Amino acid sequence: MYAEQRQRKILDILEDSGRVSVSDLTEEFDVASETIRRDLDHLAELSLLLRVHGGAIAQRTGVVEPDLPTKLHTNVPAKRGIAQAVASLLTRNPRASLLLDAGSTTGELIPLLHESEAPIITNGLDVAQSAVERGLTVQFLPGRVRGTTRAAVGASTVATLASLHPDIAVLGCNGMSEAGFTTPDPEEAAVKRAMVQAASYRIVVADSSKAGVTTLVAFAGLEDIDLLVTDSGLSDTWAKSFESNGIEVVRA
């Protein structure tokens, strides 16, 4: 077995168990312990796991949060397909009040929306600007705008959301796993949690690369989300996992 194949299998084992030991891997692959240590050291250098005494643990919350400009150029075809699927669903209830989270995938939804009686409510600076430029009515939530995501966050954002009752919320995430839907920043998680609590129907939009990823703060449990719209790359295993928790899964 080539080193690359062995290292891929090590990551698969780590994803299932959360921890691996040098002794167990030595037995599993029938190689010297030094070979396994070199594998683990290499994977740690790539930030794919964390080395600990005697083995390694999964890199659960160490994902670096990309800024919005980076997100805008990542997985664009998948995000556009997801946005088109959500827009088709929204046409069933064109008068529904819509709460949009900040983010690149929610931003792809704006060109597909039409003017309605209810304004689009958002904490995303770029989402709001794009909506205004297209003649849509926008209610921008108050708060401090984070430079990384250009999202309004803070106590005033959460307080305003507590007074609102939108029909539908569309939210992004950085990770989705058995731990729920997660994001790296606690303030942004608080806003997303308030969105989930405010809306009657909760949609998460996330490309399949987010599956199996857990970042620092959970803003929703699996039972809190009604619909996940993702791309065709989501595995059947993850789709069944989400569906078993009551989430409708659409793979665009």
The rounded average pLDDT for each run of 10 residues, N- to C-terminus, in the chain (252 residues) is 86 82 94 94 81 81 67 85 95 91 96 86 97 95 95 97 97 93 94 98 95 90 97 94 97 96
- Residues in contact with 106: Cβ distance below 8 Å, sequence separation at least 6, in sequence order: 83, 100, 122, 124, 127, 170, 171, 172, 205
In 3D space, the residue among 207, 171, 173, 176 whose CA is nearest the CA of residue 78 turns out to be 207
**What would the two tokens of residue 139 be?**
């209610």
Residues 62 and 47: their CA atoms lie apart, in Å, by 8
Same-domain check for residues 108 and 36: no
What is the per-residue pLDDT for 18? 78
Residue 63: inside a domain: no
| H helix or E strand, kind and range, residue 109 | helix 104-109
Q: 30: which DSSP letter? A: T
- For residues 221 and 173, membership in a common domain is answered with yes
Q: What is the CATH number of the domain that holds 102?
A: 3.40.50.1360
Domain extent for 76: 68-251
Question: What is the total count of domains within the chain?
Answer: 2
pTM (predicted TM-score): 0.76
User: What distance in Å separates the CA atoms of residue 227 and residue 23, rounded to the nearest whole number?
Assistant: 42
Q: Are residues 127 and 246 in the same domain?
A: yes
Tell me the CB-side half-sphere exposure of residue 108, using CA atoms within 13 A: 24
Q: Quick one: 168 and 194 in the same domain?
A: yes
Please state, as a whole number, how many other Cβ atoms lie within 10 Å of the Cβ of residue 31. Answer: 16
- CATH number assigned to the domain comprising residue 25: 1.10.10.10
